[in-house]
Amino acid sequence: MSDRYTSFARSGPGRAIVKRLGLPDPPRLPRYRSGDALIPGPVLVGPSDGPRYEELAKLLGSNEEGEKHHALVFDATGISTPTGLRALYDFFHPVARSLTPAGRVIVLGLPLSSAADPGQAAAQQALDGFVRSVGKEFGRGATAQLVRVHPEADTAALRSTLEFLISTKSAYVSGQTITVDATPVPGGKDLTGKVALVTGAARGIGAAMARVLARDGAHVICLDVPAAGDDLAKVANEVRGEAYQLDLTGVDAAQRLVEHVRERHGRLDVLVHNAGITRDKTLANMDQTRWDSVLKVNLIAPAHVTEALLDAGLIPAGGRIVGVASIAGVAGNRGQTNYAASKAGVIGWVRALAPVLAAQGVTVNAVAPGFIETAMTAKMPVLIREVGRRMNSLSQGGLPVDVAETVAWFAAPGSAAVTGNVVRVCGQSLLGA
């Protein structure tokens, strides 16, 4: 689905009109291509007396001399009082204009549960408001995130998250708070030798997930309904994976899937519950079938399939489970009581399952896409579509690959300490922010 307004705003005559009338001016968001550097430009780390300064400066290379920076990374884990927040101003104020287009701002904080007293809790909570405001203010495609890191987490636990957030892989992720635990991280950088399953992989976001997971080395089982068989086969061939036709709402679907995985692979390292449907109607006009089908595909089937695979012992230590929610599940949406309930349910399920599976070394996270350019959003009435696209800090819709890159970060071996997170891929949408 093409975004004609953005094409217009970037054209010669369009630029002038957009500027004169003060219309939204969607910035270009560079996307990652294989072989690109994960840290594409100079990074400035501060403050130099922060508890994690040495390790961060070593990991990211702190460039104090340069006039321009791709990323500004601030360690606020040592801020324990509201007065101490002045350090944020002191670091960012002089360098705010040094950020290059599509630059990155990352603030490290502590999990709120580790605050020793109300003063520290206030200071650490303050980071949320600061980061979200920076995301709305800096413009030109810049993003801003808060990473709450466990005091005992080492650099290895943080690395995959910092690399994802600094790289162009996170182009459409902004205004997010991510927690990183102290879980030890195993070796192995990519997904080589891992088996991944993506449901709803025939098109849209699921097809992008299959491509990105395959790029990172995984063998991808691409699952979709038999009616999508042709498209599914194309995606599976392209990623050198396998096509598996299955309607997840079938009575014996979970069992059939378990048999398929057991016979072909004997394990499943990455499970991505992407298949989803909408059947919009206001509640008073909604028939039972619309309610039941949406709840079944989006929430009941993922939980059921996961349980069956876990019970069969097919998800080993190091396993990754990823749910796909939606900002509609955070903010609600008119005409989507069924859909928003199902997607909010995914968030609750992921948060509850993560601590249960932590002991087995399996992580559980969710992505919550905002407005992503796909067949699903192309069906929206034109006005609602235009509002969805523009009502975010980046004034444009995201691409399927933006959601896929976020899933690949969750799936990476280096993300062992990332669990129980719900990360919105929404350009810091005003809905559900």
* Segment interacting with ligand NAD (CB under 6 A) among 29-37, 255-263, 274-282, 406-414: 274-282
Measure the N-to-C terminal CA separation of the chain; round to a whole number of Å. Answer: 25
Least Å distance, CB 290 to ligand NAD, is 14
Q: Determine if 248 is a binding residue for ligand NAD (CB under 6 A).
A: yes
Question: From CA 408, how far away is CA 411, in angstroms rounded?
Answer: 5
CB of 186 to ligand NAD, least distance (A): 29
Does the protein bind ligand NAD through residue 378 (CB under 6 A)?
A: no
**Cα–Cα distances in Å, from 179 out to 115, 230, 349?**
14, 40, 17
| 429 binding ligand NAD? (CB under 6 A) | no
CB of 23 to ligand NAD, least distance (A): 23
255 binds ligand NAD per the rule CB under 6 A: no
Q: Do 235 and 214 contact (CB within 8 A), yes or no? A: no
* Under 8 Å between Cβ of 323 and 271: no
Which window, 54-62, 84-92, 173-181, 367-375, contacts ligand NAD (CB under 6 A)? 367-375
- E strands in 141-282: 143-149, 176-180, 195-199, 219-224, 242-245, 270-273
Residue nearest to ligand NAD (CB): 276
* Cα angle 65-68-71, degrees, rounded to a multiple of 5: 100
Q: Does 197 bind ligand NAD (CB under 6 A)?
A: no
Amino acid at 7: S
- Out of 9, 107, 108, 205, the only residue in the binding site for ligand NAD (CB under 6 A) is 205
**Under rule CB under 6 A, residue 323 binds ligand NAD:** no
- Indicate whether 347 belongs to the interface with ligand NAD (CB under 6 A): no
Binds ligand NAD by CB under 6 A, chosen from 40, 103, 319, 369: 369
Decide: 209 and 198 in contact? Cβ < 8 Å. yes
Read off the tokens for 50: 């922060």
Residues 6+ apart with CB under 8 A from 11: none
User: Residue 286 or 384: which CB sits closer to ligand NAD?
Assistant: 384
Q: Which of 199, 333, 365, 428 binds ligand NAD (CB under 6 A)?
A: 199
Residue with tokens 């890191």: 149
Of these, 144, 221, 228, 272, which contacts ligand NAD (CB under 6 A)?
228
CA distance 267 to 313: 8
Q: What does residue 299 show for φ and ψ, rounded to 5 degrees?
A: -125, -50
Question: By CB under 6 A, is residue 345 in contact with ligand NAD?
Answer: no
Tell me, yes or no, if 5 is annotated catalytic.
no
149 DSSP 8-state letter: E
CB of 212 to ligand NAD, least distance (A): 14
Residues 6+ apart with CB under 8 A from 352: none
Residues 150/420, Cβ–Cβ less than 8 Å = no
Least gap, CB of 363 to ligand NAD (angstroms):
19
Q: How far is the CB of 242 from ligand NAD (least distance, A)?
A: 15
Among 247, 280, 292, 386, binds ligand NAD (CB under 6 A): 247
Which chain residues interact with ligand NAD by CB under 6 A? 199-200, 202-206, 224-225, 228, 247-249, 274-277, 297, 324, 326, 369, 371-372, 374-377
Active-site positions?
339
